Amino acid sequence: MPYLNVTEVESAVTSLATAYPDLTQLIALPNESFEGRTAHALQIGVPAALPKPCVMMIGGVHAREWGSCEILIHLAADLLEAQRDGTGLGYGGTSFTAGQVSDLLHRIDLVIYPLVNPDGRHYSQTVRPMWRKNRNPSYTGGSQNPDCVGVDLNRNYDFLFDFVTAFDPAAGPRVSNDPCDVQVYAGPSAASEAETQNVLALLDQFPQTAWFVDVHSYSQDILYNWGDDENQSDNPDMNFRNSDFDGKRGRPNDLAYAEYIPREDENAEQELAEAFCQGLKGVRGLAYKPITGFHLYPTSGTSDDYVYSRHFADPDQGKVLGFTVEWGTEFHPRWAEMEQIIRDVDAGLVQFCLATT
């Protein structure tokens, strides 16, 4: 089976909802993409009288990272089939009992949104394989340069969006305010893009979301908060909302700034990231690294930092621990290798879900 195109991804999601009506809810996202596509997410879980905690997983944000959609679709299909048939799950050397699958789906709901950026994926698969952004042409300023189309959706969230002000000029965060930056143009304003707004709408629809995983490639890591600077748990005043620290963020191994995170949150994130790595390693022995986003490179406007930042910025928002999986070692592995990666990552994600409390 080759990589799925945009139509096949949507068909897979809707087909799972049709095949498992007692365990799923199909969710149409409210905003069409620039090219007029409507995306869907899938809520998975055993129905309960009261809302359950949610693990939200999104993928297909960066157009060229083709396998992220397949990872999430296979995860949904595996869990639903195992629950229906009363069987366990086996991924190489990692296995889960029928009881573990049942416990997972009775205790939590999964909200799976496998293709956030359908226009970008279509363009990547049909025109320009290494395309990363969406396909919104609104910010080209009349330029005919094809690089000027689109926004990097994983820089478009409202977390230190004004990176020029927030970061030390020498920090070099991986983000740009140049529309013709083909990689990391953040957009004209936070959440300017329909695709970003769809993720926000999904978070609003499921306020019981407590864990969030954005599936990307590549580097064989799982990232957790924060991405703008190193973590510290001693000075709550040193945080992303405090303008006194503008111009100081993003430098490694300095004393000017480190991002505050309560120690219990960092411990919980480390434990979940390690659980993911443990489940993944059991499949065929690969060792993914659990690291903060900053230790990959400094960023702003990313999904994982945004979802975690919400409860600091607005205490009425529930706490959501944010993670990013970076699967594999290339964007378009041969399909035979991608099938192995799907098993790796899905085993890690099941183990991650079992470790949530």
Give dist(CA 41, CA 69) in Å, integer. 11
Q: Residue 83, class by beta-carbon neighbours within 10 Å (0-12 exposed, 13-18 middle, 19+ buried)?
A: buried
Amino acid at residue number 165: T
Query: Is residue 58 within 8 Å of residue 39, measured between CB atoms?
Result: no
291: in domain = yes
Name the DSSP class of 206.
-
Task: Determine, yes or no, domain membership for 1.
Answer: no
- DSSP characters for 129-150? TT--S----TTSTT---GGGS-
Predicted local distance difference test score (pLDDT) of residue 357: 79
Query: In terms of C-beta density within 10 A (0-12 exposed, 13-18 middle, 19 or more buried), how is residue 298 classed?
Result: buried
232 within domain boundaries: yes
pLDDT of residue 212: 98
The DSSP string of 4-66 is --HHHHHHHHHHHHHH-TTTEEEEE-S---TT----EEEEES---SSPPPEEEEEE--STT-T
Measured distance CA(246)–CA(231) in Å, rounded: 17
Q: Is 285 part of a structural domain of the chain?
A: yes
In a domain, residue 357? The reply is no
Four-residue CA torsion sign, 349, 351, 355, 357: positive
pLDDT < 50 stretches in the chain: none
Query: For residue 193, is it within any domain?
Result: yes
Determine, yes or no, domain membership for 96. Answer: yes
In angstroms, the CA 345 to CA 325 distance is: 8
- Domain carrying residue 336: 6-351
- Token pair of 141, please? 């300023």
- Interatomic CA distance for residues 17 and 15, integer angstroms: 5
Q: What is the CATH number of the domain that holds 144?
A: 3.40.630.10
Q: Are 348 and 241 in contact (CB under 8 A)?
A: no
pLDDT at 253: 93
Residues 33-65: tens digit of each pLDDT: 999 999 999 999 999 999 999 999 999 999 999
Tell me the pTM. Answer: 0.98
* Number of domains comprising the chain: 1
Which pLDDT score, from 0 to 100, does residue 34 have?
Answer: 98
